[in-house]
Structure 1
Amino acid sequence: NNTSVKYEKVPQKRRSADRIMSVYDPDARLSKKGRGTTINGYKTQDLITTKGVVLDTKVIPAIEHDRDAMYEMANTILNSFGFLPKGLFGDTAYGHGKQRKALESLNIPVVAPVPSTQNPTGLYDISQFTYESEQDRFTCPQGKHTYRKSHSTKNEGTQYFFDKKDCQECPFKMNCTTNKSGRSVFRSDYHDLYEAAKAYNVSEDGQEDHKRRLLVERKNQELKNDCGLGHAQTKSKGALAIKAKLATIVVNLKHTVRRTIAPYPGFIRRPKTANQ
């Protein structure tokens, strides 16, 4: 049988983000971070104290979101050391409501910026609409109310819709929406958690905590840049896990030496002067 098989190259936009990279390592994934930065296979997540001690490191597929490991790593600390962190610091990526709610069940506050709700189009954003909890509806700046709503499990929130006729007749429509069907606003399931986080972030204690996060980021950069975890050449998950554990041991050992022994300053090479 000489039947030929034709293969079609699937366009980039139609390819699944969760596709398998290698039959030899089916858990490995391909991910892009920022502009042009590609992560092949796996990446590491580290739990670091503000004193510079690495408590735990975890290898996750490149496509998995960084914040998804937070709850499990906090439980690892509880099972290993018998205590929980007083709080977890992170950037905006770690401030999602789902993780805030999960860690709240362990009495662990998350100190991280809250995702912005500002309208990227420059039109009215949600802060200009009033939510009425008893009626479970929004009121627009012109006093009109939403008339229906639709909850989305995927987006973890509820979309509230204003009447099309009200929007069409509104003299400020051009400042509010370009949608022919009228304006709608989204309220997250974690709205109350976000509001509490915003209030804490602007408080004096919150500002101090955000400064302390820089100490954690410094150690994280040491692991990624000096220890090579940021661009690890290791392809398999097991090999990267070993490398991450060894890097953690080295970094913690350096920290212990610095804390227990006051090292003498090393030789300082001074530039030659014109007379030398």
Structure 2
Amino acid sequence: LWRVCFRRKLRPRQVTGDTTYGTVENIVAVEDAGIQAFFPLPDFDRRTPFFGKGTFTYDPGADAYRCPQGQLLPRRKTKYTEEEVLYQADSTTCNTCPVKAECTKSDHGRMVHRSFYADYLDKVQGYHETEAYQKAMRKRKVWVEPLFAEAKEWHGLRRLRLRGLLNANIQGLLIAAGQNLKRLLAAGRRHAPCGSLLALLREPWRLSAVYG
């Protein structure tokens, strides 16, 4: 991203990617650069049969979480290696809770983990309800994803033939060039030869994105 911005002298307001790109490291780097990170975030709440983290409310003033039953989960431990803070409810309170079976199997009290970068993640989550984010996702589905699918299915992008970043970049450039040539030739067949290529080049969004 930074290489493309430098070479093309670009100052993007936002960057769009799929969940694979929505790592904490990428989000922090992009947001710190003043660019909005339009990335979907993994929905871990759907991966557990218990109450997900989203059902717990964080209280920044008390630095604690509150469970769906209104009980407090105070801060217990800081894990610097994992870059997260552990919050845990009182075991006695949890074990006598009427909805414990829906919350946890542990007899030591329900735990909730909070990333050091939770504020960044909350900010990105807030983008998801905006029209700008929804529009960017729609564009990605129409302009970007079909091109990658075509490259993987028909042009060998699914597996690199050579090793090394340089060789991988070369293969990506060749594939993108091939896709662009297909579109140029197709446009030439559909329209009058005198103006077809010129019209297409005036609309560069029709061409496959070249890998930086």
TM-score relative to the length of structure 2:
0.76
* 1:149 counterpart SS class: strand
Q: Which consecutive segments of 4 or more residues in structure 1 shift more than 4 A?
A: 252-255
Cα deviation per residue 1:214-273 (whole Å; 9 max; x = unaligned)?
1111222233233212123x2422544432232233334555x37xx942249xxxxxxx
Counterparts in 2 of 1:239 and 1:140: CA distance versus 1, 3 Å: closer
Aligned to 2:189: 264
Match of 1:231 among 155, 159, 176: 159
Which residue number in structure 1 is paired with residue 114 of structure 2?
187
Between structure 1 and structure 2, the one with the greater Rg is: 1
Q: Which residue of 2 aligns with 1:89?
A: 16
Structure 1 residues 221 and 120: alpha-carbon distance in aligned structure 2, compared to 1, 3 A threshold? closer
CA distance, structure 2, for counterparts of residue 199 and residue 148 of structure 1: 25
Please tell me whether residue 112 in structure 1 is matched to residue 39 in structure 2.
yes
How much identity, in percent, do the aligned residues show? 28
**Preserved contact between residue 75 and residue 85 of structure 2 (Cα < 8 Å):** no
Equivalent pair of 2:89/2:109 in contact (CA under 8 Å): yes
1: distance between equivalents of 2:47 and 2:82? 18
Query: Higher helix share goes to which structure?
Result: 2
TM-superposed deviation, 1:163 = 1.4
How many angstroms apart in 2 are the aligned matches of 1:162 and 1:176? 11
Secondary structure at 1:187 match in 2: strand
Partner of 1:166: 93
The CA distance in 2 between the partners of 1:222 and 1:128, in whole Å, is 40
Alignment RMSD: 2.5
Residue 102 of structure 1 and its aligned partner are, at CA, apart by 0.2
CA distance in 2 between counterparts of 1:198 and 1:171 reads: 31
Q: Measure, in 2, the Cα distance between the counterparts of 1:145 and 1:168.
A: 14
Contact map agreement 1:94 1:112 (CA 8 A) in 2 = yes
Q: Which amino acid letter does the alignment assign opposite residue 226 of structure 1?
A: W
Q: CA deviation at 1:75?
A: 0.9
d(CA) in 2 for partners of 1:128, 1:262: 52
Secondary structure of 1:115's partner? coil
For 1:206-221, what aligned pairs fall within 5 Å after superposition?
206-214=133-141, 215-221=143-149
Asked if the contact 1:164–1:181 (Cα under 8 Å) also holds between the matched residues in 2, the reply is: yes
How far the C-alpha of 1:173 sits from its partner, in A, is: 1.6
Give unmatched runs, 5+ long, in structure 2: 192-212
The alpha carbon displacement at 1:183 in A equals 0.6
Can you list the C-alpha shifts for 1:32-72, whole angstroms capped at 9, x where unaligned? xxxxxxxxxxxxxxxxxxxxxxxxxxxxxxxxxxxxxxxxx
Give the direction of change, closer, same or farther, for the CA distance of 1:93–1:155 in structure 2 (3 Å limit). farther
- Matched with 2:65 is 138
Supply the distance in 1 between the matched residues of 2:133 and 2:159 (Cα, whole angstroms). 33
Higher share in strand: 1
Which has the higher relative contact order, 1 or 2, with Cα contacts under 8 A spaced 6 or more apart?
A: 1
Is this contact kept in 2: 1:77–1:84, CA < 8 A?
no
Unaligned ranges ≥5, structure 1: 1-73, 267-276
The number of aligned residues is 189
